[in-house]
């Protein structure tokens, strides 16, 4: 907490916080991605929030690996012919400005109205590389989200949905309902999301939830089943890439994590292991 009120005032402030890590990676001479907009988007408030978080520096590698993996999945899916990306809870993500993407690709960002206006203002003189639309929507309104998603995906033949930094904040019931709804939109064929193990969830709950106090948000989701949680909602895990292994490959890990990264890992249930992965899900009814 700062002396003038809670640092994280609402859930959208978490977007400022995450943008700081993209700015920090961008500053490195050996950056694995560059986001030239991140520093401006995060602003001073983002930096204050990042500094207030426990293990802020020691965990930078995890944020870098997360962005790197989402970028990789998006690039691969674009190469495989998706014609629409729907970024739910897009926050201050600047992929449509910073990635190499076909000009013909449609990209839709969905988030709450205030964070989208803040972003729009900062990026107003910048030009996205593909066709970009922004939609202000409260994703917790299930009927509205279903209506809007169906409308947005009309005309797309093969769409990818990404949720980066969203489902960790939802309950298992809420994630299940979202998975079911996304499976019901015909054009949505693939979904990229990040997933924590129950063990990691407990650690993050201890360190991060107290910092989120002012926002009403808390981290909640780390299913026992791992990526197989999504099977009963119409989604099959197609590719699961561990954050730790990726951090090791990118040579970003502090010493104690390097030792952990040497252990073999399973892609299914993780139990009490502190594990996080970025997962590509394939809709069961899609080709």
Ligand X SMILES: C[S@@+](CC[C@H](N)C(=O)[O-])C[C@H]1O[C@@H](n2cnc3c(N)ncnc32)[C@H](O)[C@@H]1O
Residues lying near ligand X in the complex (CB under 6 A) are found at 11-12, 14-15, 18, 89-93, 111-112, 115, 138-140, 164-166
Nearest approach in angstroms of CB 129 to ligand X is: 18
Residue among 215 and 236 whose Cβ is closer to ligand X:
215
Residue among 156 and 219 whose Cβ is closer to ligand X:
219
Nearest approach in angstroms of CB 216 to ligand X is: 10
Residue whose token pair is 């990635």: 99
Alpha carbon distance 167, 235 (integer Å): 15
Nearest approach in angstroms of CB 159 to ligand X is: 17
Alpha carbon distance 255, 267 (integer Å): 23
Residue among 53 and 268 whose Cβ is closer to ligand X:
53
Of 168, 78, 85, 198, give the one whose Cα is nearest residue 131. 85
Residue among 178 and 183 whose Cβ is closer to ligand X:
178
Nearest approach in angstroms of CB 145 to ligand X is: 8
Alpha carbon distance 87, 64 (integer Å): 19
Answer for the pair 73, 282: CB distance below 8 angstroms, yes or no. Answer: no
The DSSP 8-state label assigned to residue 60 in this structure reads H
Residue among 90 and 108 whose Cβ is closer to ligand X:
90
Alpha carbon distance 164, 279 (integer Å): 11
- Phi, psi at residue 267, to the nearest 5°? -95, 0
- The H or E element spanning position 147 is helix 142-152
Alpha carbon distance 43, 28 (integer Å): 18
Nearest approach in angstroms of CB 136 to ligand X is: 8
CB closest to ligand X, residue no: 91
Alpha carbon distance 198, 239 (integer Å): 20
Nearest approach in angstroms of CB 3 to ligand X is: 25
Residue among 46 and 274 whose Cβ is closer to ligand X:
46
């Amino acid at each position: 907490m700062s002396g003038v009120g809670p640092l994280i005032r609402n859930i959208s402030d978490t977007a400022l916080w995450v943008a700081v890590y993209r700015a920090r990676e961008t500053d490195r001479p050996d950056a694995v991605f560059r986001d030239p907009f991140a520093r401006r988007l995060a602003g001073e408030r983002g930096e204050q929030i990042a500094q207030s978080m426990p293990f802020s520096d020691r965990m930078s590698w995890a944020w870098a690996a997360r962005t790197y993996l989402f970028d990789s999945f998006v690039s691969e899916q674009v190469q495989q012919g998706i014609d629409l990306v729907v970024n739910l809870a897009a926050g201050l993500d600047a992929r449509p400005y910073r990635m190499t993407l076909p000009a013909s690709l449609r990209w839709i960002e969905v988030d709450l109205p205030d964070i989208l206006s803040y972003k729009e203002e900062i990026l107003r003189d910048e030009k996205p590389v593909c066709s970009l639309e922004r939609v202000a929507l409260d994703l917790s309104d299930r009927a509205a989200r279903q209506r809007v998603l169906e409308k947005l995906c009309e005309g797309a033949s093969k769409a990818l949905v990404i949720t980066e930094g969203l489902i960790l904040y939802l309950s298992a019931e809420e994630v299940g309902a979202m998975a079911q709804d996304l499976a019901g939109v015909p054009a949505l064929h693939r979904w990229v999301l990040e997933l924590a193990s129950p063990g990691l969830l407990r650690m993050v709950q201890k360190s991060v939830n107290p910092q989120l106090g002012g926002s009403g948000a808390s981290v909640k989701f780390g299913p026992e089943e791992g990526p197989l949680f999504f099977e009963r909602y119409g989604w099959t895990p197609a590719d699961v890439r561990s954050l730790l292994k990726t951090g090791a490959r990118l040579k970003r890990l502090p010493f104690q994590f390097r030792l952990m990264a040497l252990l073999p890992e399973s892609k299914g249930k993780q139990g009490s292991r502190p594990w996080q992965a970025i997962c590509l899900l394939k809709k069961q009814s899609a080709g």
